[in-house]
Amino acid sequence: MNNLQKYYKDSVAPAILKEFGYKNVNQVPAIKKVVINVGIGPNLKDKEYLESVKKDIEMICGQKPVETLSKKSISNFKIREGMVVGLKVTLRSHRMWDFLEKLVKVTLPRVRDFRGISDKGFDRNGNYSLGFNEHLAFPEIAADEMDYLHGLELAISIDSPSVEASKSLLNKLGFPFKKEE
């Protein structure tokens, strides 16, 4: 069992149970999956860029990415139906916990000019989304060996009864939210 997962079971879940007055452990918010997504954008026709992004995501996540295809043609964006427009990876179980631990303890502190993550990334179901402008913050990426610079988005799917409970969960897991000013 991963350190963060053990910490969740031993410390975070009982604390949230007490904080929100839940009657059952199953009411405590739980992280179900993490989806990492990269849009290809203006480099749609550049096969070398696509392969570079695939390799980067595979190093970051430890899992092969799946190509996302366009559902319809859009002439203004020069996209035809069935073209590769992005890459994504869905992490669950032990890989998800390993990734979240690395994100909180290593990656976020390495982000340039970091002052905390925004608490505005929650949707009404309690899921959290976070974006990176550069993938350089991840420890697996060596800046001198990198061919292309790209951003990526994280979507953390949380099974939660409320946004407040989700925020409390992420806060207790060590996610550094910005201080209210």
Domain hosting residue 134, numbered range:
3-172
Phi/psi of residue 128, nearest 5 degrees: -125, 135
From first CA to last CA, the distance across the chain in angstroms is: 38
Domain assignment of residue 180, yes or no: no
Beta bridge partners of 93: none
Q: 65 versus 114: which is more confidently predicted?
A: 65
Domain assignment of residue 32, yes or no: yes
Domain assignment of residue 18, yes or no: yes
The Cα–Cα gap between 140 and 143 comes to 10
* Mean local confidence (pLDDT), 39-56: 79
Question: What is the pLDDT at residue 116?
Answer: 80
For 101-155, the pLDDT digits (tens) are: 888 888 887 777 778 888 888 888 889 998 887 776 776 776 666 777 777 899 9
* Mean local confidence (pLDDT), 29-44: 85
- Helix H or strand E segment including 47: helix 47-61
- CATH number for the domain spanning 149: value is 3.30.1440.10
Domain assignment of residue 161, yes or no: yes
Write the DSSP string, 117-164.
B-GGGB-TTS-EEEEES-GGGSTT--GGG-S----EEEEEEEE-S-HH
The Cα–Cα gap between 38 and 47 comes to 15
The Cα–Cα gap between 77 and 1 comes to 45
Question: What is the pLDDT at residue 157?
Answer: 93
Q: 67 versus 179: which is more confidently predicted?
A: 67
Question: What is the pLDDT at residue 140?
Answer: 77
Domain assignment of residue 46, yes or no: yes
Res 89 pLDDT > 90: yes
Domain assignment of residue 178, yes or no: no
Domain assignment of residue 177, yes or no: no
Domain assignment of residue 179, yes or no: no
